């Protein structure tokens, strides 16, 4: 986190501030209208029917993708970076997961189920969940193609073959990456993939960032999430990078 001061920041009268604020408000309103337009286009995307059988390990036993809907017609999956060889989840994914708990009652009563999915075995997931104090659903895809099929896990062979695609572009990254995917199940039980987003497309889920963007010094970071810790590590944690970098994986 960078040290900030008022030394180099403009200071104005209340009248000057109000004039500048009204000018910014016009831009904020335009941004809101553009966001609404993009949301409408997102909802208008065509859907892809899922014909492949995916199975997951959960605390309730083996469950299919259809089962993960938990009786609802909409499912949002957070692709949480926790592979079998890590003892703890990615700090950035853990940051996002901290924002999920309070949404569940509202989303569930709006016909939306949210769950995390990781490649780690279930016992590793459950141990980390207990450490973090989370209660949202979380499933293991450790013996499934799910992560690879939805573009969040890559091997060196994938990169060499040119089949490693992250955020709809070729990538040289290997291992785990974060993402979010949405699905619909119709009355006949057919499942459709409706949307996926990756990278900075996840930022709007991060309410902490939305608040920081309105704080006096904004995100106050030299590189993305360089200040971030898992929520139980803030007292004595060393700085760490995040989400897909070698240092993040080593720290995890």
Q: Which CATH superfamily does the domain covering 48-205 fall into? A: Glutaredoxin (3.40.30.10)
Q: Which tens digits make up the pLDDT trace of 176-225?
A: 999 999 999 999 999 999 999 999 999 999 999 999 999 999 999 999 99
DSSP string, 79-133: E----TT-SS--HHHHHHHTTTGGGHHHHHTTTEEEEEEESS-HHHHHHHHHHHT
Burial of 174 (0-12, 13-18, 19+ CB in 10 A): middle
Q: Which tens digits make up the pLDDT trace of 32-90?
A: 999 999 999 999 999 999 999 999 999 999 999 999 999 999 999 999 999 999 999 99
Tokens 């207990």 sit on residue: 130
Q: Quick one: tokens of 214?
A: 């309105």
Q: What beta strand segments (E) does the chain contain?
A: 48-49, 55-58, 61-64, 74-79, 112-118, 138-140, 153-154, 165-166, 169-170, 175-176, 179-185, 191-198
How confident is the model at residue 236, as a pLDDT?
A: 63
At residue 243, does pLDDT exceed 70? no
State pTM to two decimals.
0.90
Going by pLDDT thresholds of 50, 70 and 90, the confidence category of residue 8 is confident
At residue 250, does pLDDT exceed 80? no
Instruction: List the chain domain ranges.
Output: 48-205
How confident is the model at residue 221, as a pLDDT?
A: 93
Q: Which tens digits make up the pLDDT trace of 117-172?
A: 999 999 999 999 999 999 999 999 999 999 999 999 999 999 999 999 999 999 99
CA distance 240 to 247: 7
């Amino acid at each position: 986190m960078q040290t900030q001061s008022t030394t180099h920041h403009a200071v104005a009268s209340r009248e000057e501030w109000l004039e500048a604020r009204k000018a910014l408000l016009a831009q904020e309103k335009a941004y809101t209208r553009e966001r609404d337009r993009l949301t409408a286009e997102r909802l208008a995307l065509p859907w892809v029917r899922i014909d492949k059988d995916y199975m997951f390990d959960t605390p309730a036993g083996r469950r299919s993708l259809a089962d993960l809907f938990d009786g609802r017609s909409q499912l949002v999956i957070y692709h949480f970076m926790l592979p079998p060889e890590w003892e703890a989840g990615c700090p950035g994914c853990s940051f996002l997961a901290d924002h999920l708990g309070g949404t569940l009652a509202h989303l569930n009563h709006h016909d939306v189920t949210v769950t995390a999915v990781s490649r780690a075995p279930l016992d590793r997931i459950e141990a980390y969940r207990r450490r973090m104090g989370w209660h949202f659903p979380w499933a293991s895809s450790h013996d499934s193609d799910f992560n690879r099929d939805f573009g969040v896990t890559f091997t060196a062979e994938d990169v060499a073959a040119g089949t490693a695609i992250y955020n709809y572009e070729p990538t040289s990254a290997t291992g785990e990456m974060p993402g979010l995917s949405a699905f619909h199940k119709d009355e006949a039980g057919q499942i459709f993939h409706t949307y996926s987003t990756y990278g900075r497309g996840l930022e709007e889920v991060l309410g902490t960032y939305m608040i920081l963007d309105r704080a006096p010094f904004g995100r106050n970071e030299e590189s993305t999430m360089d200040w971030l810790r898992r929520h139980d590590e803030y007292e004595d944690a060393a700085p760490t990078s995040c989400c897909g970098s070698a240092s993040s994986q080593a720290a995890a």
